[in-house]
Amino acid sequence: MTLVFQSLRKVYGEVVAIDDVSTDFAPGMIHGVIGPNGAGKSTLINMTAGSYTVSSGSITLDGKRLDKLKKYQIANSGIARTYQNIRLFDQMSAIENLEVCFYPAEVAAAWSEVIWPPYANAQRRRRREKCMEILRFFDLQGYADVDAGGLPYGRQRMLEIARALVANPRVLLLDEPAAGLNHHETAELTAKLTALRSPDRIMIVVEHDMDLVMTLCDSIIVMHHGKLLFRGTPSEVQASTDVQLAYLGTANDIDDIRAAAQDRRAQLGIRTRRRS
Ligand SMILES: Nc1ncnc2c1ncn2[C@@H]1O[C@H](COP(=O)(O)OP(=O)(O)OP(=O)(O)O)[C@@H](O)[C@H]1O
């Protein structure tokens, strides 16, 4: 299983957000996507998940074109995502936020549930247990019946990832999962994401938090002005003069890049935390 971008391009009017990007993502690995603001990171995620159309080029999973599919078909192909700005159903409980994700995939069985109530009850219990298992993994079991909108901000971030896992996706796309998290929450997130690494799953993480990226990721692509500037291991990225120039305009060490990213993260944190 491989996710492949081939000569990918995205244009918004005059703005070329993604400019001829070709790369691939292997399973069993956590892939980081980094780059300065406006580099095109979220656009890559949005195109892969079908939220944005592709201007030209292709996205394939196991050789099957994703970019020609509708958004729900992409989800049914095994792609799940989280958002830069949390998008939970605030008025629904934590467990209901997970339970709703079962229904589209089980439409064919819906009639059996309508016709045969005992079957429906058994299915409901099975779904609930599966959701509780995921909540337990994220230490959210104590919040199962709490409205998502009332959860502490850090728990909401975890719940978003939990929801993305309900369909057991083959590709998990995480757009700035650490945005607005404090140091302790980020460490907790890093541990959870590490535990989600699986031979059957491709994980792609867009992040500004350099410590998280360098600790978590096996491979990193660096975007700059819509182009793929560099691809390598965390240590290769840290040693790259091209990467340092892209972030800072001068060749400096990774500590300066980290500080620049930290500034941005703090700004985003202020914005996103207001929501809770
Ligand atoms: N819906 C849109 N309409 C028009 N332009 C867009 C849209 N989304 C993104 N862009 C532009 O495309 C470019 C890439 O944006 P994108 O959000 O992908 O960058 P990014 O690397 O994720 O940035 P950040 O780290 O700030 O989130 C930017 O110039 C941005 O202004």
Nearest to residue 29, comparing CAs of 217, 237, 192?
217
* Position 53 in a domain: no
Say if CB 95 and CB 135 are below 8 A apart: yes
234 has pLDDT over 70 = yes
Is the shortest distance between the CB of 11 and ligand 1 below 6 Å? no
* Position 243 in a domain: yes
Is the shortest distance between the CB of 17 and ligand 1 below 6 Å? yes
For atom 25 of ligand 1, the residue with the nearest CA is: 37
Dist. CA 41 → ligand 1 center (Å) = 8
Is the shortest distance between the CB of 35 and ligand 1 below 6 Å? yes
Asked which of 97-111, 149-163, 182-196 is least confident by mean pLDDT, the reply is: 97-111
Q: Which domain holds residue 268?
A: 210-276
* Position 246 in a domain: yes
On whether the pTM is more than 0.90, the answer is no
For atom 11 of ligand 1, the residue with the nearest CA is: 17
pLDDT for 228 equals 96
pLDDT band (50, 70, 90) for residue 178: very high
Dist. CA 195 → ligand 1 center (Å) = 30
pLDDT band (50, 70, 90) for residue 262: low
C-alpha 272/C-alpha 207 separation (Å) is 15
* Position 10 in a domain: no
Domain count along the chain:
1
* Position 250 in a domain: yes
* Position 245 in a domain: yes
Is the shortest distance between the CB of 39 and ligand 1 below 6 Å? yes
100 has pLDDT over 80 = yes
Dist. CA 38 → ligand 1 center (Å) = 5
Say if CB 180 and CB 273 are below 8 A apart: yes
* Position 37 in a domain: no
Say if CB 155 and CB 140 are below 8 A apart: yes
Q: 189: buried, middle or exposed (CB in 10 Å: 19+, 13-18, 0-12)?
A: buried
pLDDT band (50, 70, 90) for residue 232: very high
For atom 5 of ligand 1, the residue with the nearest CA is: 12
* Position 67 in a domain: no
Which residues make beta-bridge pairs with 202? Answer: 171
pLDDT band (50, 70, 90) for residue 123: confident
